[in-house]
Amino acid sequence: MELNDVQRQAVEHPGGPLLVLAGAGSGKTRVLTGRIAHLVKERGVPAWGILAFTFTNKAAREMKERAVQLLGTDEKDLGVWLGTFHGTCVRILRRHAELLGFPKAFVIYDTDDQRSLLKELLRAIGADDRRLTPAGAGSRISRLKNEGVTPEAFSAQASGPLDGQLAGVYAGYEKALRARAAMDFDDLLLHTVRLFDLDAAVHRQYADRFRHVLVDEYQDTNSIQFELIERLSRTHKNLMVVGDDDQSIYGWRGADVANILSFEDRYPDATVLRLTQNYRSTRTILRAANHVVKNNAARKEKELWTENAVGELLGLHLLPDEEAEGERVVSLLLEEKRLKGRANRDFAVLYRTNAQSRSVENALRRSAIAYQLTGGVSFYERREVKDILAYLRALTQPRDTVAWYRIVNVPSRGIGKTTLDRFRAFAEAEGLLVPEALRHPRLTDAVGGAAARKLTEVAQLFEGMSPLLSLSPAACLTELVAKIRFREYLMEDNPAEASERIENVEELITGADAYARRAEEPTVDGFLSEVALLSDVDLWEDGEDTVNLMTIHSAKGLEFPVVFVVGMEEGLLPHASSLDHPKELEEERRLFYVALTRARERVFLLQASFRRTWNASGGGASRFLTEIPADCLVVEEADRYPATARPSRPARAAHGPRIVRDEDHDQAKERSPVGAWVSHPQFGEGQVVACEGRGDRAKLTVQFRRAGTKKILAAFAEWSYAD
């Protein structure tokens, strides 16, 4: 196996704690599997004495395949314990669960099982706080378990009535799991650590067996995973961890970047190696990525380099709105296919939130370009989107029974399955459609008085909303969402996911507005027809040659020849929730770094000057754009865009780029001015989108609000806004 010098040092490390800082595309999987092969073939370590942790089954499969090749064996005889944290813990617990009071044949509860159980518990205790939903309680309990906090410990530290109630639910939940001989996903790790603490002999059995412990993606470990690793390696300290602090992007689900940043503090005798040679990307892409991520304070110093070609400049494309953004993705994609013979699979479109896929999906569908979503479902297949569309269908066509049954109890109206089963049987027996059955005099006899009243109230609700159909599609949707209190329902239904689900509803309204602007005679019926046609996935999912649409989080660990990053605006990337939190803002910057380093050959960055989100305009250029060297970017000329393509100046906020005072004028022009705001005596106010040269002689490409894009000398620009 061919290795560079640093990779070889990692593979042949003599022993003791080893931290391998493996930059993006630096061959970390090769190093990990090479290390396993070296230990077995060169050092005589029995394969069964090696334990390797991964975070995904995909990564585990890839490592197993490579290890099998290197060791010249088959997977059954590999011997190495190589798998995910959860998979490894199940193997241990199946052997020793009885020591924890569980049978060896314990069951594993998934998220739906967990929520069903929590629903029972909340109903039993009469929980009336709407913030304490099954999903919300499950999310809080999961976080507590990942931090190693027991019900007893949480009860002791609980403050306020909500925490007090949650403490009771947490304790009851744990008791109920035991009664059902069940563990949830978080329990698999937590109970393994408890097992080691409870039984010294069992702990010694595994600590003595696994004389070498290897951990992939160490930057993504949480507290309980750290505790597990520490207990398995504390005696021999033959611990090899591989990771990249610059790719730590899962803080929102409990990952602690401090685990990798403080490794040398915990292991003072540790060897630290940096894999900085990148085998994936061009020099230009790496230069841009390096310049962005070095703005983070909490990181290990390193800089990726490559022997690959310089490559093409990153393309920065300024669009008037998100609809133009989607269309520009398609036009660039088609141009790349025409000029370079690329296949659909060569392209990835990355975004910060799932809601952003809508405009890209629509543009791809209109051009009959096959695509697939990774890490999520198609926009129009998302539950909250389908629910609102079902309301529209039931309003426009009361005989649409499928739509009515979908939303009759959304939001919850106390109409249960038994009632609906009785109503359905009654309607079918009488040969009635839903509207007729709701008005039938024998409805009460069929379903009961209370149930009949609830069903009648739903019918009256729909009758009261029928005038909404005379409004524009976007206005109709806006009023509908308000009348049924859908946002409140989403917040109550699943607080942990409410924000993203509300964003999806907002994006649906944005899509309705976009439809109205291009339709000759826009109607609600017409909008539904368009959506129905766009939802036909037969063409788009036929075969594997598809454009890849995914969040940046989902793209981690993947690579593509060409990457589009859409939504390069303040409030999206970085996300609005991070702007007032320095740690979270640094994670957003790492997220952008991950997006850039997914690309092998080309990167296209797209920013919308105006993004419709329930009448909210865009937030202006992402601060991350100003961190890319100007000589790494090429900006699309304005004459390629409609006359409406004008930058919208973002509202100023304390977290945003600072105001440049007169005394800073010269200094401002010495820095990369891309993203800055300037004033010109003739053209007015505009935003700098490209720069050639430095100082007063620099040639600025400025997208003016009134005059379009012009090239001017920096000397003639009055600087009003810069990073």
Residues designated as active site: 28-29, 216-217, 247, 598
Tally of CB atoms within 10 A around 642: 11
Residue 73 and residue 311: Cα distance in Å, rounded? 40
Segment (H or E) for 184: strand 182-184
Q: Name the nearest CA neighbour of 177 among 110, 125, 263, 231.
A: 110
> What is the rounded (10 degree) CA torsion for 476, 481, 482, 488?
-170
Tokens of 722: 């810069």
Helix 200-209 and helix 185-198: axis angle, to 10°?
100
> What's the angle, vertex CA 314, arms to CA 714 and CA 641, rounded to 5?
70
Cis peptide bond prior to 411, omega within 30° of 0: yes
Distance (Å, rounded) from C-alpha 334 to C-alpha 324? 15
Nearest to 321 by CA among 81, 676, 551, 644: 644
574 prior amide bond cis, ω within 30: yes
Within 8 A by CB and 6+ apart from 606, the residues are 317, 319, 325, 328, 329, 564, 565, 566, 567, 568
Rounded Cα–Cα distance for residues 511 and 358 (Å): 8
Measured between alpha carbons, how far is 219 from 586 in angstroms, rounded to an integer? 14
Question: Rounded CA gap, 671 and 209, in Å?
Answer: 57
**At 421, is the secondary structure helix, strand, or coil?**
helix
Assess contact for 137 and 169: CB atoms under 8 A. Answer: yes
Helix, strand or coil, per DSSP, at residue 17 = coil
CA 431 to chain centre: 47
Take residue 406 and report the two structure tokens written for it.
């979908």
Strands 708-713 and 718-721: unpaired
Are the C-beta atoms of residues 243 and 218 closer than 8 Å to each other?
yes
Whole-angstrom distance, CA of residue 503 vs CA of residue 508: 9
Q: State the Cα–Cα distance between residues 463 and 499, nearest whole angstrom.
A: 30
Peptide bond into 495 cis (omega under 30): no
Cis peptide before 629 (omega within 30 of 0): no
Q: Are 602 and 283 in contact (CB under 8 A)?
A: no
